[in-house]
Amino acid sequence: MPKVSADHLQARRRQILDGARLSFARHGYEGATVRVLEEEIGLSRGAIFHHFPDKDALFLALAVDDAEAMLETVAQHGLVQVMREMVAAPDAGRLGTQLEIARRLRTDPEFRIAWAPKLAELADAVRARLRRQRDAGLLREGVDIDQLANYLELIMEGLIAHLAAGQPADRLGGVLDLVELSVRGQ
């Protein structure tokens, strides 16, 4: 494929995924009708579904995309930074995707099996980051890595539930500061 076409294709896919992410964040997965998708993406349904076979494929592409981005953020800055980004932009961020993932994990055994490797990757990344922090002397002592990881994961679940219920995000920055201090043992 000529480079210009490949770039164009890439940009078009990006445009579609960005619009779809906004749609899911603002309307939920069910509420993101084809009409909503057309409006948020700025393309016709024909153009959208030329690139992705259906809404489910759009969701899965976003879920994989977000999982990759989260893995990178976790590796570089830790899980608290992922939460800070969700708090900073609950509307435009990964909340819609995360909620739909959580719903499918609860209700769809096939998805649960298909998604297990991604969850394991993320869990591993969180633990690897904590181990690096510990080796650098930046973690509280006397608590094991799994316990700290479970602690952070529980707070992430609380954060998603809190934002999903439409509750205010303004006090969560201070809460995450406290989480960070507690992980460091300060």
Binding interface with its own copies (CB under 8 A): 102, 105-106, 143, 146-148, 150-151, 154-162, 165-166, 171-172, 174-175, 177-179, 181-182
Closest CB 42 distance from its own copies, rounded Å = 31
122 or 155: CB nearest its own copies: 155
49 or 151: CB nearest its own copies: 151
Amino acid, res. 162: H
Closest CB 156 distance from its own copies, rounded Å = 7
Closest CB 80 distance from its own copies, rounded Å = 13
Angular region, 137: left φ>0, alpha ψ -120 to 50, beta rest: left
- Dig out the tokens for 1 from the structure: 């494929």
95 or 179: CB nearest its own copies: 179
95 to each of 47, 58, 86, 91, 136, how far by Cα in Å?
A: 26, 15, 7, 7, 32
37 or 148: CB nearest its own copies: 148
Cα 133 from Cα 116, distance rounded (Å): 26
Find out whether 34 and 23 touch, Cβ atoms under 8 Å: no
Closest CB 181 distance from its own copies, rounded Å = 7
